[in-house]
């Protein structure tokens, strides 16, 4: 997107479509124009691609033509075009991506253009070529990874010139390849705790003014996930499951963008049903956009489409599932990916192919189309905090920024008592014992101990069995751990006296259903049984987390059944201390 003019560019096979919006009406009206270069016509363009540099306004457009790409660039929103040559990375030739950004210091002496331009592709290897003259010609390609195979995502360049190319198939994980020397060399870094999804659903990254990186991907369960790195991909913060937040069963085609350091948006197609990638699938797909205003601690997921994008399955196995031009019933109609951009006001826009139009929007069957479409944010917070909301002159959004409800820093001592002696009604209802049902108030008569025998499962949707668990509920308020030290004070006994017993102690965020949501910290500890209750302190330091529904303490003896945790007695006050 050209942020200076407001023009959005969508490459649809041989067409380069320019979309402009008129905000004098509500909703805004859109104008679509094909501004494709007529210098050299495409024969097929089996992999269309487009990229606009938001700093210079230069748009690169074209696509794959045999083993190379036929590309052009424009500096005037498609009025005139300049051909690009050497857009090749043989033997890598498929699923190409083009992007541009600042040079990493030092700027190459041979550079004649203000920005580095990257062209990358996949094949038997993954390679990138860099242009130092604005995309007119490219240097010889460079191998970017030996650890990854295919499903290379879109190249992104941070303000400091660090270049990132994500990839899906990198052993047991997904990864991001990083270059800090303008594409001469690359380092492969694991993408958080990612697992590998099926098909060609490639991951996506977004960079921020401070060089942070939001990494997004689809896991082996086809859930959309995101994590933030402040170290150029070397280390990552906690992973957030966006599909779980929205109550979705499966996702496809994920893409990411960032504004300020703390603000980012992740778009993807989602369905409430699981599966989605075989012809027997009967669910519907919609476009969803997840956004964060607090550096990924919390995310809000919004359905961005009012009618389905697709009814039935999506095939993500490339041209093997539907030969180009043969129709869409083999699930190939939505092609390979969706795109995301933002305008000068920090408004999020998502380009996608619509496979369900006309009668399909209300009842089906699927139309198996690939109608070029753009979803445009009409209201709500901008990707840039200083700009407030994204409202246009005729829209009814509230004036000024809409800050999230302030979170309350969680500190204090909380005991696992039936009636906690240390609690504040404004913050919490105290530690309470929970089973499969979330308990919002202390039970009438607490049991004096919990036998650790692996028989208790908390939450029907958690999928994790823990022996004992206590919940510190948030009472409708968002709590936060801010560089906190949390000590779990456990009074324990062991059937092994003397003898060694191992316990796993964990802290979890909880969702609105009372199920464990995101792990915060976990540790295995051992103690020697003395035949009498003893205090076991387990301390976690430097914890940072937003707790939308509460904090949970879990204890498990790994199925051995030889330990007990005591509580609700003045002499044995199991609980936690937070500072």
Domain with 227, as residue range(s), is: 8-387
pLDDT score for 43 = 54
For residue 456, the model assigns a pLDDT of 32
Task: Count CB neighbours of 563 within 10 A.
Answer: 27
- Look up the CATH number of the domain holding residue 329: 2.120.10.70
What CATH number has the domain bearing residue 417? 2.60.120
Containing 178, the helix (H) or strand (E) segment is strand 173-179
3 state DSSP class of 386: helix
Residues 319 and 458 in one domain: no
Rounded distance between C-alpha atoms, residue 433 and residue 574, angstroms: 12
Burial level of 9, CB count in 10 A (0-12/13-18/19+)? Answer: buried
Residue 186 in domain: yes
Domain boundary pick from 355, 387, 419: 387
One domain for residues 373 and 425 = no
Residue 394 falls inside a structural domain: no
Q: In angstroms, rounded to a whole number, what is the distance separating the alpha carbons of residues 141 and 128?
A: 5
Residue 145 to residue 508: CA distance in whole angstroms: 36
The token pair at 164 is 């990132």
In a shared domain, residues 261 and 154: yes
The secondary structure of 275-308 as a DSSP string is: --SSTT---EEEEEEEEESSTTSS-EEEE--SS-
Q: Tell whether 27 and 77 lie within a shared domain.
A: yes
How far apart are the two ends of the chain, measured CA to CA in Å? 46
E-assigned strands of 398-549?
A: 408-409, 412-415, 431-433, 449-452, 468-473, 479-494, 500-510, 516-528, 534-547
Q: What residues have CB less than 8 Å from 121, skipping those under 6 apart?
A: 69, 89, 92, 93, 94, 95, 96, 97, 127, 152
In a domain, 403, yes or no: no
Domain count within the chain: 2
- Would you say residue 122 lies in a domain? yes
3-state helix, strand, coil in the chain (%, to 5): 5, 45, 55
pLDDT, block means (10 residues), the chain with 579 residues: 95 90 86 86 72 96 83 95 84 85 97 96 87 95 88 93 94 95 97 88 96 96 95 94 92 97 97 90 94 93 94 84 52 89 96 94 89 92 91 55 56 54 29 29 30 30 47 60 82 68 78 54 80 82 74 70 60 70
| Residue 398 located in a structural domain | no
Do 423 and 561 lie in a common domain? Answer: yes
**In whole angstroms, what is the distance from residue 194 CA to residue 188 CA?**
14
Is 267 found in the same domain as 139?
yes
Give the 3-state secondary structure of residue 358.
helix
Residues 427 and 340 in one domain: no
Please report whether residue 447 resides in a domain. yes
In 162-176, which positions are buried (b, 16+ CB within 10 angstroms) versus exposed (e)?
Answer: bbbbbbbbbeebbbb
Same domain, 419 and 342: no
Both 142 and 56 in one domain: the answer is yes
Residues 353, 470, single domain; the answer is: no
Beta strands 300-303 and 284-292, pairing class? antiparallel
Give the Cα separation of 198 and 328 in Å (integer).
20
Q: Which of 329, 354, 387 is the last residue of a domain?
A: 387
Pairing relationship of beta strands 408-409 and 479-494 according to DSSP bridges = parallel
Residue 192 shares a structural domain with residue 340: yes
pLDDT at residue number 176:
97
pLDDT of 40: 63
Is residue 426 domain-shared with residue 284, that is, in the same domain?
A: no
The verdict on residue 3 lying in a domain is no
Tell me whether residue 308 is in a domain.
yes
Report the C-alpha gap between 483 and 485 in whole angstroms. Answer: 7
Let me know: does 70 contact 135? Beta carbons within 8 Å: no
């Amino acid at each position: 997107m050209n942020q200076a003019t407001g023009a959005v560019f969508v490459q649809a096979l041989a067409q380069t479509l320019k979309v402009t919006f008129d905000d004098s009406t509500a909703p805004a009206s859109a104008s679509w124009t094909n501004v494709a270069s007529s210098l050299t016509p495409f024969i097929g363009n089996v992999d269309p691609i487009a990229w606009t540099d938001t700093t210079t306004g230069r748009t690169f457009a074209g696509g794959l033509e045999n083993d190379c790409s036929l590309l052009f660039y424009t500096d005037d929103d498609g009025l005139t075009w300049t051909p690009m040559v050497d857009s090749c990375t043989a033997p890598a030739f498929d699923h190409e991506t083009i992007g541009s950004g600042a040079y990493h210091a030092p700027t190459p002496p041979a550079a004649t253009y203000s920005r580095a331009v990257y062209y990358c592709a996949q094949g038997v290897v993954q390679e990138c070529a860099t242009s130092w003259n604005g995309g007119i010609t490219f240097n010889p390609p460079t191998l970017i990874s030996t650890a990854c195979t295919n499903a290379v995502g879109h190249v992104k360049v941070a303000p400091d010139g660090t270049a990132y190319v994500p990839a899906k198939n990198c052993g047991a994980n997904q990864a991001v390849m990083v270059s800090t020397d303008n594409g001469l060399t690359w380092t492969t870094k694991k993408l958080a705790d990612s697992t590998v999804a099926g098909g060609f659903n490639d991951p996506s990254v977004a960079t921020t003014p401070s060089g942070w990186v939001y990494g997004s991907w689809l896991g082996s369960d086809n859930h959309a996930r995101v994590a933030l790195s402040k170290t150029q991909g070397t280390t990552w913060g906690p992973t957030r499951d966006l599909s779980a937040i929205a109550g979705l069963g499966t996702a496809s085609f994920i893409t990411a963008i960032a504004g300020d350091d703390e603000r980012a948006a992740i778009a993807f197609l989602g369905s409430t049903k699981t599966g989605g990638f075989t012809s027997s699938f009967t669910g519907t797909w919609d476009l969803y956009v997840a956004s964060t205003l607090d550096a990924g601690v919390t995310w809000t997921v919004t359905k961005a489409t009012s009618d389905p994008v697709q009814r039935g399955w999506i095939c993500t196995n490339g041209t093997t599932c539907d030969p180009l031009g043969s129709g869409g019933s083999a699930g190939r109609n939505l092609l390979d990916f969706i795109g995301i951009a933002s305008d000068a006001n920090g408004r999020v826009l998502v380009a996608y192919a619509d496979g369900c139009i006309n009668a399909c929007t209300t009842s089906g069957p699927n139309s198996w189309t690939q109608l070029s479409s753009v979803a445009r944010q009409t209201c709500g917070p901008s990707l840039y905090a200083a700009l407030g909301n994204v409202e246009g002159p005729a829209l009814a959004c509230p004036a000024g920024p809409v800050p999230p409800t302030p979170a309350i820093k969680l500190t204090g001592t909380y005991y696992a008592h039936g009636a906690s002696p240390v609690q504040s009604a404004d913050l919490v209802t105290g530690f309470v014992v929970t089973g499969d049902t979330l308990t919002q108030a202390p039970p009438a008569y607490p049991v004096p101990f919990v036998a650790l025998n692996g028989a208790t499962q908390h939450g029907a949707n958690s999928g994790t069995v823990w022996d004992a668990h206590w919940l510190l509920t948030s009472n409708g308020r968002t709590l936060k751990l801010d560089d906190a030290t949390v000590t779990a004070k456990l009074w324990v006994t062991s059937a092994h006296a003397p003898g060694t017993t191992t316990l796993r102690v964990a802290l979890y965020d909880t969702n609105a259903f009372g199920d464990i949501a995101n792990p915060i910290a976990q540790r295995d500890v051992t103690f020697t049984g003395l035949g009498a209750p003893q205090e076991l302190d387990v301390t976690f330091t430097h914890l940072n987390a937003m707790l939308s529904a509460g904090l949970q303490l879990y204890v498990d003896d790994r199925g051995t059944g030889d330990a007990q945790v005591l509580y609700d007695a003045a002499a044995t006050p199991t609980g936690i201390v937070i500072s």
